[in-house]
Amino acid sequence: MHRYLNPEKLKNFLNQREKKLLSSLAVFSCNGVRRIPETEIDTGYRQAFSLDADRILHSLAYTRYIDKTQVFYLVKNDHITHRVLHVQLVSKIARTIGRFLGLNEDIIEAIALGHDLGHAPFGHEGEGFLSDLCKYQGIGSFCHNVQSVQFLDKAERKGRGLNLCLQTLDGILCHDGEVHNQAIKPEKDKNFETLDKETAEKKADNKKTLVPMTLEGCVVRFSDTIAYIGRDIEDAIRLNLVKRSDIPGKSSKILGNTNGTIVYNLVTDIIKNSFEHQFISFSQEISEALKRLKKFNYEKIYMNPRIKKYSNIIQKSFEVLFYEFLEDIQNNNHDSVIFTQFLADMSESYIINHSDAEIVRDFIAGMTDNYFLRQLPKGILPDNLKI
């Protein structure tokens, strides 16, 4: 192996080995494309998508996953899923599928770890509240997948971005785990102009469905659903929101009624129906069972009034903080945390290319749940919610 210790030779060796081991349908690391080309001095022996995964893992946005709500917020239970665990589950499930299909596990890991970085505090409810404020300010709707790309491409490294590969950013932008598909075929012919165009379209219409450019991106999109569907049920049972016997019989008969069996059956079905194909797919029977289960989760868990008892307080809190920080920027209040903890040392290009409202959006979207609560003025939170 000594002849491969030279970084360039070692990377070439790894790229050649990849072409021997992976399916011809996989995306190869040597084909990773960045906005700004990087030399061997910049990247060393690491392959393109492995480097992307490392950059995401060491980003500030990834660190903040630790206190980001998945579904259930302001719940005093240490066994309820947080987003940091969710993305790890997505990564594991997607890499398992990718391994059996002969796909590139490095880009799968990168997309999976980065796909939810843009989530606002307090999960999808927080996303909705922030989106209303953004639209009112004329900066488009707020979508967490768009925001994930925004953080990685425009805000990290003090506004310089991480210069990730197009294929990685595309997979993150297009993950849309809430959309139900039986099969997805990648739309391969994309470039950075396409990425920017689709980002703008998604901000203008958050219902717009995007399709990943790689099979690996399609795998992560399916894996997102696989990771949350049964896990959310287990959390809801733990919180006494539903009982296991409430799970629709038609779905549990096919998929099982525990997270473990649901994950196993969904993963197995994808592998069977996608092997050596140019698409990722469930069987029709499994797809219909999953669709019924998603409907159950939506009606009995996500829309359950018991998990929305603090919605009005959280909505008001988003409004208070958004307009407070917007006023701080407009009044050049450099004592404000938006200056001291976000804009300090931020690159000139970031400040020039973002409106005041967009800067506030980025700051609030990046907050953990507890940090968000700590910024609120006195009198907003009831005593039982104070931290």
Written as tens digits, the pLDDT of the chain (387 aa) is 455 578 888 888 999 999 999 999 999 999 999 999 987 767 788 999 999 999 999 999 999 988 888 888 888 778 888 889 999 999 999 999 999 999 999 999 999 999 999 999 998 999 999 999 999 999 999 999 999 999 999 999 999 999 999 999 999 999 986 789 999 999 999 999 999 999 999 999 988 999 999 999 999 999 999 999 999 999 999 999 999 999 999 999 999 999 999 999 999 999 999 999 999 999 999 999 999 999 999 999 999 998 888 899 999 999 999 999 999 999 999 999 999 999 999 999 999 999 999 999 999 999 999 999 999 998 888 776 655
Residue 164 contacts residue 55 (beta carbons within 8 Å): yes
pLDDT of residue 8: 83
Domain ranges (residues) in the chain? 48-307, 311-385
pLDDT digits (tens, 9 = 90+) for 8-47: 888 889 999 999 999 999 999 999 999 999 877 677 889 9
Query: Identity (one letter) of the amino acid at 239?
Result: L
Residue 249 contacts residue 203 (beta carbons within 8 Å): no
List beta partners, residue 82: 69
Nearest Cα residue to 248 out of 205, 294, 309? 294
Tell whether the torsion through CA atoms of 18, 89, 174 and 283 is positive or negative. positive
Judged on CB neighbours under 10 Å (0-12, 13-18, 19+), 281 is buried
Homologous superfamily assigned to 48-307: Hypothetical protein af1432 (1.10.3210.10)
Q: Which residue reads 């994309």 in tokens?
A: 190
pLDDT of residue 1: 46
Phi, then psi, of 273 in degrees rounded to 5: -95, -5
Number of Cβ within a 10 Å radius of residue 234? 17
pLDDT of residue 386: 57
Phi-psi region of 158 (alpha: psi -120 to 50; beta: other; left: phi over 0): left
Kindly report the pTM of this predicted structure. 0.95
pLDDT of residue 3: 56
Give the span between the Cα atoms of 217 and 98, in whole angstroms: 10
Give the span between the Cα atoms of 122 and 126, in whole angstroms: 5
Give the span between the Cα atoms of 320 and 100, in whole angstroms: 49
The number of angstroms, rounded, from the C-alpha of 6 to the middle of its chain's C-alpha atoms is 35
pLDDT of residue 304: 92
Rounded to 10 deg, the angle between the 83-101 and 105-114 helix axes is: 160
Alpha carbon distance, N-terminus to C-terminus of the chain: 55
